[in-house]
Amino acid sequence: MTPQHLADIHHAAFPQERAWSADEFESLLDSTSVALFHRPHGFALTRTIAGESELLTLAVAPAFHRQGLGRALMLEWLATLEGASSTAFLEVAADNTAAGRLYRNLGFAEVGRRTAYYARKNMTSVDAIVMAYKVT
Ligand SMILES: CC(C)(COP(=O)(O)OP(=O)(O)OC[C@H]1O[C@@H](n2cnc3c(N)ncnc32)[C@H](O)[C@@H]1OP(=O)(O)O)[C@@H](O)C(=O)NCCC(=O)NCCS
């Protein structure tokens, strides 16, 4: 999957937020701590450092939502952490019901909140919920 393809899916999946450019994806992928899990219409990008792994972004093209892709990408990431990392983290916008439900069903639990963390294009902002998952 090319950086441009990642940027296209990200742009389609996050219409209310600043789109990440192909250059940004390219430089993230240059890092040895960053991993990409992908399917033709969705991807998860993660970073693992010193026993902690973080979900940088998860995006599925809208036409392919609710077909199990997001869950499959998350499970693929979490499977790679077994025996290697102690905790997985992510941040999700407080109003993102779909992603919040996906993460809770996978076993992530809220551990904190960042107030007004996500700036929206309409000049509003939304809290970020910080969630963690204990890798067993
Ligand atoms: C969040 C996202 C990645 C989910 O991907 P997806 O492939 O549609 O999700 P799945 O089909 O694997 O769904 C898994 C579970 O998530 C939850 N879920 C997914 N979409 C949902 C929705 N629209 N409403 C409520 N729950 C939803 C459900 O619990 C679902 O299980 P179910 O279908 O058995 O009820 C996708 O909606 C997306 O790309 N959204 C825009 C970008 C985004 O918000 N990324 C996450 C940022 S933290």
With contact defined as beta carbons under 8 Å apart, do 116 and 95 qualify?
no
Please tell me the predicted confidence (pLDDT) of residue 85: 67
Per-residue pLDDT tens over the stretch 48-68 = 998 899 999 999 999 999 999
Residue 64 DSSP symbol: G
Rounded-to-integer distance, Cα 115 and Cα 93, Å = 10
How many domains, the chain?
1
- State residue 121's pLDDT score: 75
Residues of the chain with pLDDT under 70: 85
**Which ligand 1 atom is at minimum distance from the Cα of 69?**
7
Exposed/middle/buried for residue 96 (C-beta within 10 Å: 0-12, 13-18, 19+): middle
Burial of 40 (0-12, 13-18, 19+ CB in 10 A): exposed
Print the domain residue range for 115.
Answer: 3-134
C-alpha 105 to ligand 1 mean position (Å): 11
CATH number of the domain that 123 lies in? 3.40.630.30
pLDDT of residue 56: 98
Element (H, E) at 4: helix 3-13
Claim: this prediction has a pTM higher than 0.75: yes
The residue whose CA is least distant from atom 21 of ligand 1 is 98
Secondary structure of 7-59 in the HEC alphabet?
HHHHHHHCCCCCCCCHHHHHHHHCCCCEEEEEECCEEEEEEEECCEEEEEEEE
CB of 68 within 6 A of ligand 1: the answer is yes
Q: Is any atom of ligand 1 closer than 6 Å to the C-beta of 69?
A: yes
Ligand 1 pocket mutation pick from 11, 18, 66 by most atoms within 8 angstroms of CB: 66
